[in-house]
Every structure is written in C-alpha cells, then in structure tokens.
C-alpha cells in the first residue's frame, strides 16, 4: 500500500483459490459502480486481471462477500461461484466472521481497551442524509444496537498533531460503524472528511484499513492479513512515539478469543440440540404410552362385549 492513486493494474491479490479471491483494496477506489464515468473500481480491476473468472450471470461479474467504504483500504473477499458465495454469506449472517481494522484517530485515547456501544441510525437532517449518526442526536432515524471493540496499539504524531493507532473490531456490521463510533468518543479517524464536517481534509487518505479477515469456512477457514499501511516508511507524516502492544500479538489474542467464543457457541448449540432431542423423545414416549393405554382400554371393552354375547 502506497500513497499513489489506484489504477487498473494496481490490484494486489492476497489469496486466490478455486472458490475465493481476497484482494487488498486500494484507499481511493470503489468496489463497484453503476456510473459510466467510474472507470477505476475493484470490479474493473478484477475484470482486467481475471477476465476468465467473471460470471456474466451476475450484475458486476463478481460476487463480493462484503463491503468496504470507498475511502477504506484492506482485505476484501470475492466469491468465484454461487456455492462459495452462499457459504461465506452464512458465516457473515451468523456473525462468525472476524474482522479487525487498523486506524489512526485524532488525539490521545486514554482508555487502552474499551467497548464502544452506541446504537447507530440514518441521519435524516438536511444535507446529511449520506451520513449515519448515534442514537439521541438530531435527525437520527431507526437506530440499531452497535458495538465496536477498541484496542490502543501506539501513541504518536501525525503531521505534528497527537494521534493514536488503534485496532478496531466491529462486533456488529452497521454502515460507517467504525467512523461514527470513533467520532462519538471524540477521536475521529484521521482524514475522515465526512465525519469531521469537512475539516479534516489535509491527509492524502482516510486512515482506516481492513487488516484482518477470518471466515470460518468448513472444512478450512479462510484467514488473510492485509498488512499495515500506517508506517513511517509509507507516510513520513506519521511518527510513532510510544508502543503499548504489537499488532501481531494483539491479532493473535483476538483470534484465540474468537476461537474460544466459537467453541462455546458450538457447545451451547450441541447442548440445545441434545435437550431438544430429549424433549422430542419424551413426547414420543408419552404418545406411545397414551396410545398403549388407549389400546388396553379398547381391548378390555371388546372383551366385555364378547363376554356379554
């Protein structure tokens, strides 16, 4: 990842199998577009690099398993067939996918680990209908529960201003969730023009990057890391000053926690299934017992009638 703008040839592939391609989406490119003037999209890059893999039965030629904002870079998964898309969709639907984003945010985030828990809804205010907002703010429509786990990695300066490098894990998946949550705690993402009311326009990009994508596919999970673009070698304006924890160790701990959570969920599902099977068995046994009792009573009635004859 560099400060150079995107081109058709600049597609970076992180993973390629018969079922999936994972690319490192550039920071100034849309995933797809219906507009004729949008020449540079991930869709166009894929068609340029892999024309033989395009599926003409789909609108865009490729099945994107999830979304990234125009100004967000990082790991983006594309399914290469309908069955693979269905498997990935089920994982996203039941929230078993693990995603983690790197971000530079304005100011010094004092609380090193925290859960951002702000319901998010559509902003209906005039001139802001393209934005989301937190519950309780003016114009917020239909807010829904929304959680993000935040972990501080480093403190430093960006172009002389105090910033914090953080790892963000979205527990839910709302539109603009990470951007709105960071803004809600007073630490907007560096370069986020929209959620700084147009004030943060100097950086060359918004500093939000999809670093980790883990999809628990069966039998083999798909796990990809899209590197760290927020390094002084890439952008000299970013000057780290104090490191609290490494990115690798933080991601490893996150994945271990998710594996444990997944194990517990599976155990709970098995236990629920066992209890349900026991209930069904008891109901069957009860029906059989009731039927046997009814049959005995009917048999005795027949015997009495026969004896009477």
pLDDT by residue (tens digit) across 44-68? 999 999 999 999 888 888 999 999 9
pLDDT score at 1:
57
Tell me, yes or no, if 94 is annotated catalytic: no
* pTM, rounded to two decimals: 0.85
The one catalytic residue in 19, 28, 32, 69 is 69
79 neighbors 85 (Cβ within 8 angstroms) = yes
Stretch (H or E) spanning 171? none
pLDDT score at 210:
98
Distance, in Å, from the CA atom of 78 to the CA atom of 88, rounded to the nearest integer, reads: 10
Residue whose tokens read 């066992």: 274
pLDDT score at 283:
86
pLDDT by residue (tens digit) across 70-105? 999 999 999 999 999 999 999 999 889 999 999 999
Which residues, 6+ apart, have CB-to-CB distance to 246 below 8 Å? Answer: 153
- Asked if residue 280 has pLDDT above 60, the reply is yes
Distance, in Å, from the CA atom of 141 to the CA atom of 128, rounded to the nearest integer, reads: 12
Which residues, 6+ apart, have CB-to-CB distance to 220 below 8 Å? Answer: none
């Amino acid at each position: 990842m560099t400060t150079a703008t995107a081109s058709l040839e600049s597609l970076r592939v992180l993973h390629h199998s018969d079922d999936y391609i994972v690319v490192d989406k550039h920071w100034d490119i849309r995933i797809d577009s219906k507009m004729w003037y949008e020449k540079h999209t991930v869709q166009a890059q894929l068609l340029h690099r892999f024309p033989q893999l395009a599926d003409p039965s789909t609108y865009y030629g490729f099945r994107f398993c999830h979304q990234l904002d125009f100004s967000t870079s990082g790991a983006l998964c594309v399914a290469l067939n309908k069955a693979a898309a269905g498997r990935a969709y089920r994982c996203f639907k039941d929230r078993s996918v693990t995603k983690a984003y790197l971000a530079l945010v304005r100011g010094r985030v004092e609380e090193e680990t925290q859960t951002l828990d702000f319901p998010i809804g559509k902003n209906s205010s005039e001139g802001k209908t393209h934005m989301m907002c937190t519950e309780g703010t003016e114009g917020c429509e239909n807010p829904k529960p929304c959680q993000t786990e935040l972990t501080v990695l480093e403190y430093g300066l960006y172009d002389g201003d105090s910033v914090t490098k953080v790892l963000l894990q979205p527990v839910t998946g709302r539109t603009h969730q990470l951007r709105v949550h960071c803004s809600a705690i007073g630490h907007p993402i560096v370069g986020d023009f929209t959620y700084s009311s147009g004030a943060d326009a100097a950086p060359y990009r918004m500093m939000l990057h999809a670093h980790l994508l883990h999809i628990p596919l069966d039998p083999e999970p798909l796990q990809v890391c899209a590197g760290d673009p927020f390094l002084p070698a890439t952008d000299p304006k970013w000057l780290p000053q104090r490191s609290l924890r490494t990115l690798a160790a933080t991601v490893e701990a996150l994945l271990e926690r998710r594996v444990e959570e997944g194990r517990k969920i599976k155990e709970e599902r098995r236990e629920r299934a066992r209890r349900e099977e026991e209930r069904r068995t008891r109901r069957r046994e009860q029906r059989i017992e009731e039927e046997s009792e009814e049959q005995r009573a009917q048999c005795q009635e027949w015997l009495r009638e026969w004896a009477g004859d």
